[in-house]
Structures are given as C-alpha cells and as structure tokens.
Amino acid sequence: MSLILAIESSCDEMSAAILRDKRNLLANVVASQIDIHKQYGGVVPEIASRKHVESVAAVLREAFRTAGVKPEELDAVAVTKGPGLVGSLHVGMQAAKTLALALNVPFIGVHHIAGHIYANELVEDIRYPALALVVSGGHTELVYMKHEFSFEIIGETFDDAIGEAYDKVGRVLGLPYPGGPVLDKMAHEGEPTYDLPRPLDDGSFNFSFSGLKSAVINLKHNADQRGETINAENLAASFQEVAMDTIAKKALHAAREMGVRDIIVAGGVSANKGLREKMSGQSDVRVMFPPMKYCTDNAAMIAAAAKVMYDHKQFTTLDLAVRPHFDLEAESIGEEV
Ligand code: KG4
Ligand code: ZN
C-alpha cells in the first residue's frame, strides 16, 4: 500500500499527481503555459520558471482537493530531478523537498524519461524484457529494459530529437507552437507527394532528423523564393511518412533483435497518430502506447515511476540537486543491466 505525491515541472507544465498503490490515480493536475510561450514560438526558460513559482501552490492545493487526501496521509513525495530546464526543475524540487521535510516521509527523485516510460504502467503491467521507444521534444532513444527499472540505451539520435524536428518544421510552415500536434493533424489531411530524404536508412538503431528537417525547410524556402505555393498538408504528410516510418522500422527491428515481449512507446510524440498506425498490428510483439492524456508532460507518469522506486526503496536525501542533463542508464535498479 502506498500513497505518493509527485511533482513534474521540467519544462513549461507545472503538474502534481497523487497515486494510491499502482494505478489508483486520485489526481493529476496540469497547469500548462503553452498559451504564454506560443507568442514567442517556443518555451522561454526564464518565463517558464517564473510562472511555475506563481502556480505551484495552487496546483498542489488542487491536487489534494481533487484526491480528497490530506498531506499527512502521504507515504512519499516524488519529483522530477531532470533532465529539463534548470530553473523550471528547481521550482518543483523546492516544493517537493519542503513537503517531504515537513511530513517526514521518504523523498524520491525521478528521471523524466523513466516517468514517460512508466506512464504505461498506469494502465497495464510491462512484460520484460521490453524495449522503450522514447520520442519526445528532447529525446529520441531506444532503451532496452532487461527487467523492471533497468535501462540500456541501444540507439539514439545523433542530432535533433523527433519532437524538436516537428516543432522546427512547424515554425517554418508558420504553425503555432508546438508544431507537433498540428503537423500530425495536417498530415492526415494530405498525401505524401513530396520526395524527402530517408534519414540514416541503415541497420543501426540510431536516428538522425536534422537532414530531413533541413530538406523540408529548404523546400519551403525555395518555393517562397520562386513565388510558388506549397501544399502544406502534403508536405506535412510527406515529412510524417518518412519520419515515422523510419522510427517504426527501427523500433520493430530492434525489438526482434533483442527478443523483447513488449515495446513501450513513451514521450510527447507517442501521441502521434502516424506512429500509432505504423506500430500497430504486430503479431509477435505487443506494442503499448500510453493513453493520450499521459503522453505529454504530467506528474501522473512521475508518480508511476516513483511507485516502482518506492517498492524498491530507492529513496534519496534532501540534498538532491536538479540535473538539467543526465543519463537514464545511471538510474537503473539492480546489477543485471
Ligand atoms: O514529452 P513532451 O511533453 O516534452 C518533452 O519531454 O520533450 O514532448 C513534447 C513534444 C513536442 O515537441 C511536441 O511537438 C511533440 O511532443 N508532440 C507531437 C505530438 N504531440 C506532441 N509530435 C508529433 N505528433 C504529435 N501528435
Ligand atoms: Zn517529457
């Protein structure tokens, strides 16, 4: 039995969740700042952290109110310790430390990507060995998980993360931030008529999206210079087709090479309809996608990862520092990594 409060504030969302045991999610409050950052075309870190300071108390109060629990009932407090924006991380970290200290309960520092992966366990147990396909604004990785909470990165992007490539292409096409969801929608309204380069089309598990992104951007600029119009829906469909086909093929290839039982798709881009279509219908491996509401950043996913850490007694001291960059592999529990 456990009652865990988790706080996530690594980027532009301030979120607090309360999770009883493994999947009884009592609250998951998310205060998004997208409308503020939209006008700048991307997240402004200084504004993000200032807004977090303004919203953290209200978000926590709302989480306790929705869950109908009192702070004294908590068994542990968890927080995203990184990676992310340093100022944003600090706000969640200070709030979590204060609560853990005042309540005298165990304190758990969670890797943001472990959170994205374990969001899937809010619905169903992961079967090991598993392969996590992490696709977000900051990461594109294939992570082999031999057992629970063990992480081995077997492939990653050499340049842009896939969400970053979506957002940059979206910006050049004049779409609002973040470009990912809008491009995904447009892709479904168009046809893949444009011929774009297929990135790192080899047998490796690594990715590269800067060439593909630049090809789309150049195509748009050249058309603008010649006074030609492009069909934005078709360009979105062409970009999505190449990007998601590459990701899906590599993930499925890796899953078969590694002999895993489950593929877990994780991170904001796991909301992508094109990716969901490409990955579905496999007969030899189960592909798990988190429910849409747990795809982009939220504290429920941090609570889900914290629950695993709680069961393994992976507690930390209150001098924990935020880590803007750090390695997921170092978070593994157990020796068999
Ligand atoms: O995981 P997340 O919320 O934040 C990070 O940890 O990075 O992911 C945000 C990213 C953004 O780049 C956003 O454009 C992208 O996920 N994204 C999508 C979709 N929904 C969100 N990209 C493609 N298709 C989508 N449907
Ligand atoms: Zn994220």
Q: What does the alpha-carbon distance between residue 93 and residue 112 come to, in Å, rounded to a whole number? A: 13
Q: Taking CB atoms and a 6 Å cutoff, what residues make up the pocket around ligand 1?
A: 11, 136-138, 163, 166-167, 178-181, 184, 267-269, 271-272, 296-297
Confidence of residue 335 (pLDDT cuts 50, 70, 90): low
User: What separation in Å is there between the alpha carbon of 203 and the centre of ligand 1?
Assistant: 26
Query: Which residue minimizes the CA distance to atom 3 of ligand 1?
Result: 296
Q: What is the mean pLDDT of residues 315-327?
A: 94
Kindly report the pTM of this predicted structure. 0.95
For the chain, the C-alpha Rg in angstroms (whole number) is 20
The H-assigned helical ranges of 8-70 are 34-38, 45-67
Q: How far is CA 307 from CA 51, 222, 239, 283, in A?
A: 28, 51, 38, 31
**Which mutation among 13, 15, 117, 166 tests ligand 1's pocket best, with the greatest number of atoms within 8 A of CB?**
166
Q: What does the alpha-carbon distance between residue 46 and residue 37 come to, in Å, rounded to a whole number? A: 11
Annotated domain spans of the chain: 3-118+296-331, 127-289
Are the C-beta atoms of 34 and 178 separated by less than 8 Å?
yes
* Segment 9-43, tens digit of pLDDT: 999 999 999 999 999 999 999 999 988 998 888 88
pLDDT of 256 higher than 90: yes
User: What separation in Å is there between the alpha carbon of 210 and the centre of ligand 1?
Assistant: 17
pLDDT of 336 higher than 60: no
φ/ψ of residue 141, rounded to 5 = -145, 150
pLDDT of 255 higher than 60: yes
Q: Which atom of ligand 1 is nearest to the CA of 138?
A: 7
Q: What does the alpha-carbon distance between residue 197 and residue 6 come to, in Å, rounded to a whole number? A: 42
Ligand found nearest the CA of 187: 1
Q: What does the alpha-carbon distance between residue 105 and residue 76 come to, in Å, rounded to a whole number? A: 5
User: What separation in Å is there between the alpha carbon of 269 and the centre of ligand 1?
Assistant: 4
Are the C-beta atoms of 254 and 209 separated by less than 8 Å?
no
Q: Which atom of ligand 1 is nearest to the CA of 271?
A: 26
Q: Among 41, 2, 39, which Cα is nearest to 19's? A: 2
Return the number of other C-beta atoms located less than 10 Å from residue 68's C-beta.
Answer: 10
Average pLDDT, the chain: 96
pLDDT of residue 337: 41
User: What separation in Å is there between the alpha carbon of 116 and the centre of ligand 2?
Assistant: 7
* Segment 233-251, tens digit of pLDDT: 999 999 999 999 999 999 9
- Tell me whether the CATH fold assigned to 3-118+296-331 matches the one assigned to 127-289: yes
* Segment 257-301, tens digit of pLDDT: 999 999 999 999 999 999 999 999 999 999 999 999 999 999 999
Q: Domain 3-118+296-331 is classified in which CATH homologous superfamily?
A: ATPase, nucleotide binding domain (3.30.420.40)
User: What separation in Å is there between the alpha carbon of 82 and the centre of ligand 2?
Assistant: 10
Q: Tell me which fold the domain 127-289 belongs to.
A: Nucleotidyltransferase; domain 5 (3.30.420)
What DSSP assignment string belongs to 163-224?
HHHHHHHHHHTTPPSSHHHHHHHHHTTS---S----TT-SSSS-B--HHHHHHHHHHHHHHH
